[in-house]
Structure 1
Amino acid sequence: MTRSPLAIIAGTGFYDLDALENPTHHTLDTAWGQARVTKGEWHGIPVVFLTRHGAGHSVPPHLVNYRANIRALADLGVRDVVAVNVTGSIDPTLQPGDLLCLDDFVDFTKQRPVTFFDGSTPEGVVHTDVMTPYHPAIRREILDAAATSGHSIRDGGVYACFEGPRFETRAEIRLAALAGADVAGMTGVPEATLALEAGLRYAAISLVVNPASGVGDADEPITMDEINAVLAASSATVLEILDDLVHTRATFPEEPDA
């Protein structure tokens, strides 16, 4: 049986996946527009890498074509997706460099196309159940990979997605905290829900890179220099977890759908 590709989606600070062997770059046409991906192998299994913001971070979060990206992955035969989200901490106990394996989200976006089922497709209007937006089996793989590679990761976390590209106000972060959110980002939704609609098994790692507005003692403006410094120090940790996850997958045959 041919193994289905594993997709890895990443954003800020993750523009290449150097671990990929024999990488080839592709622009794919979908009913929702074009998506650009890199195909290759990692530990001998097929992997598709997609960077949300394009080369050189040229696409802002509110203009990412999430529908084209997810549709392209599904068209390539992807079944499982591991995403990486760079976030600000709403929970004051979280520090830059901390990791979470997300298990829920709150959506504060306003203008993004959020579904494949907008009435223009043969399926008509479909109401998708999102009680479990992050797939338990893929979450388990992430948690096990972190443990094996010796890295700490919180089991669970609520992601608050804002429109961007501006950072959030203090009041918005207080609102998200009241909703139970642990971290804030700009790219996790509708990516997660579109993956559900497309039948993909999706889970996400959140890498905290700064305190969100007004959290803790944070009184200074959030800057990209601050974020990039944490990314430089912490991105290797994320890649080590991914490496162990892929290596473990390569050791075992692909399991049937669950």
Structure 2
Amino acid sequence: MTRAPLGLIAGTGFYDLGALVDPAEHTVPTAFGDARVVRGTWHGIPVVFLTRHGAGHSVPPHLVNYRANIRALADLGVRDVVAVNVTGSIDPDLRPGDLLCLDDFLDLTRQRPVTFFDGSGPEGVVHTDVVEPYHPAIRREILDAASTAGRPVRDGGVYACFEGPRFETRAEVRLARLAGADVAGMTGVPEVTLALEAGLRYAAISLVVNPASGVGDSDEPITMDEINAVLRTSSAAVLEILDELVHTRATFPDPTDPDPTEPFA
């Protein structure tokens, strides 16, 4: 049996994976539009890598075609997905460079297509359970890989997804904090819920790159220069965790369910 490829999704600051062997770009047509992916191998296992914002960060977060991206991964045989989200800290104890393995989210977006099941397909309307949006087995892989790599990662965190592409106001950040959010981002939703609908096992690493608006002592505006500076020093930690996760997978038989849920015809 051919091993199912591992899906990797990333955004700001993660536009290629230097560890991929024989990387090849592909355009994958779906009913929701085309998705661009890179296929290759890492430690001998197949990988499908997708960068949300496209070449040169040309697609803003509110215009990412999340449905096409997730549908393409599923169509390519992906069963497990590890995502990377670059975030601002809402929890004042978090600092730039800190890492979290997310376990819940808040959806504060307003205008994105959020489901495959909009009533137009043969499935009709489907109500997806999201009591555990980030798959516990994939979360465990991330945490174990981080421990082996010697990279501290907080076990758990609530991701507040805002519409973007602007940064959040101080009032919005206060609201999210009152609701229990730890970090703020612009791309984690509906990606996580679409993965659930597609029957994929999905988990995400959050890399903190700045304090969100009004968090901490500084009133300085958030700038991309600030974010890019943290990415230059901290992205290696994320890549080391991914490398260890893939290396561990390569050591064992295919960990994915041999009979994954297939909600689509």
TM-score, normalising length: structure 1: 0.99
User: 2:158 touches 2:182 (CA, 8 Å); kept in 1?
Assistant: yes
Which residues in structure 2 correspond to 1:80-99 (within 5 Å)? 80-99=80-99
Q: Deviations over 1:91-123 (max 9, x none)?
A: 000000000000000000000000000011110
1:216 Cα deviation after fit: 1.1
The equivalent of 1:166 in structure 2 is 166
Per the alignment, in what secondary structure is the counterpart of residue 56 of structure 2? Answer: coil
What is the Cα deviation at residue 256 of structure 1? 4.8
Contact 2:103 2:157 in 1 (8 A): yes
Structure 1 residue runs of 5 or longer lacking an equivalent are none
Write out per-residue CA displacement over residues 152-201 of structure 1, whole angstroms, 9 at most, x where no aligned residue.
00000000000000000000000000000000000000000000000000
- Counterpart AA for 1:168: E
- Asked if 1:229 corresponds to 2:255, the answer is no
- The Cα shift of 1:255 comes to 2.7
Match in the other structure for 1:184? 184
What does residue 113 of structure 2 align with?
Answer: 113
Correspondence for 1:199? 199
Measure the CA separation in 2 of the matches of 1:108 and 1:73. Answer: 25
- Determine whether 1:14 maps to 2:14: yes
Instruction: For 1:195 and 1:173, locate their aligned partners in 2 and report how far apart those are by CA, in whole Å.
Output: 26
Corresponding position: 1:140 with 2:140: yes
How many residue pairs end up in the alignment?
Answer: 258
Letter in 2 for 1:4: A
Supply the distance in 1 between the matched residues of 2:256 and 2:50 (Cα, whole angstroms). 24
Partner SS, residue 27 of structure 2: strand
Tell whether 2:57 aligns with 1:57: yes
Query: What amino acid maps onto 2:96 in structure 1?
Result: P
Instruction: Tell me the equivalent position of 2:263.
Output: none
d(CA) in 2 for partners of 1:107, 1:236: 29
The residue number in structure 2 matching 1:38 is 38
Give the equivalent residue in structure 2 for 1:219. 219
Cα offset, 1:2, TM superposition: 1.1
Distance 1:47 1:255 in 2: 14
- Does the alignment pair 1:244 with 2:244? yes
User: Deviation string for 1:133-167 (max 9, x for gaps)?
Assistant: 00000000000000000000000000000000000
Q: Is residue 208 from structure 1 mapped to residue 208 from structure 2 by the alignment?
A: yes
Separation of aligned partners in 2, 1:189 and 1:256: 24
User: SS state of the match for residue 203, structure 2?
Assistant: strand
Question: Which residue of 2 is the match for residue 66 of structure 1?
Answer: 66
- Stretches of structure 2 that go unaligned for 5 or more consecutive residues are 261-265
Runs of 4+ residues deviating >2 angstroms: none
Aligned to 2:81, the other structure's residue is in SS state: strand
Instruction: Determine helix, strand or coil for the equivalent of 2:139.
Output: helix
Aligned AA (2:212): A
